[in-house]
A = this chain, B = another copy of it.
Amino acid sequence: MDIEQTKIPQATAKRLPLYYRFLNNLHSQGKLRVSSKELSEAVKVDSATIRRDFSYFGALGKKGYGYNVEYLLSFFRKTLDQDETTKVALVGVGNLGTAFLNYNFTKNNNTRIEIAFDADQKRVGTEVGGVQVEHVDDLEEKINDTAVAILTVPSSEAQPMTDRLVKAGVSAILNFTPARITVPPHVRVHHIDLSIELQALVYFLKHYPLEEEQEG
């Protein structure tokens, strides 16, 4: 069942949710068809790359016509498991955690933050973005079968909290702390490091000149 899927390049897989979202936009605008060129302009991905990406799933388009929005959408819905919602836990209801909780994830999305944890007694028992905040001491007890965790704690807490999450059975962690956490090989970690993203942007700005600004 996953035989074909495994072959999809990671770079492609990362773009799928992006495509999915824009197709949804088009669909709600009542658009019936779309070409790789149009889509390219909207998502800022080369049109050949888009066609290549789609082609991993078979021949989804029609020559001389483009792609049928509804068909493509229903195809992606299946592929991205949009029907089956993945439960997510969030640990650390600071500013960043709150931002996540308030984010409108339910729209066009296969993930839902089911529960949040924080160490601050003032936050426990409140509801943020429709999600109940529990005390972090109850993590093991209340996290149940949640497979994915978003880690938005202070970096000193990152590794201890990771260890607890792993013990509690979490199999993927989205780590927003600057700490590079250590996990067993069966646990998947993605790092999003805001400080590094900003520094990298500055580095590119200074060292990788783009086209000159056009005067007039």
Contacts and interface: CB of A to CB of B under 8 A. Distances in A.
A59 interface: no
Contacts of A186: 210-214
B13 A203 contact: yes
Interface string A131-156: 00000000000000001101000000
Contact of A42 (B180, B201, B213): B180
B10 A195 contact: no
A125 B207 CA distance: 36
Interface stretch (A30-38, A67-75, A88-96, A114-122): A88-96
Contacts of A197: 174, 190, 192
23 contacts: A13-B204, A16-B199, A17-B195, A18-B193, A81-B203, A95-B96, A95-B98, A99-B194, A105-B195, A109-B195, A147-B205, A148-B205, A174-B197, A174-B198, A184-B213, A185-B210, A185-B211, A186-B212, A186-B214, A188-B201, A188-B205, A190-B200, A192-B192
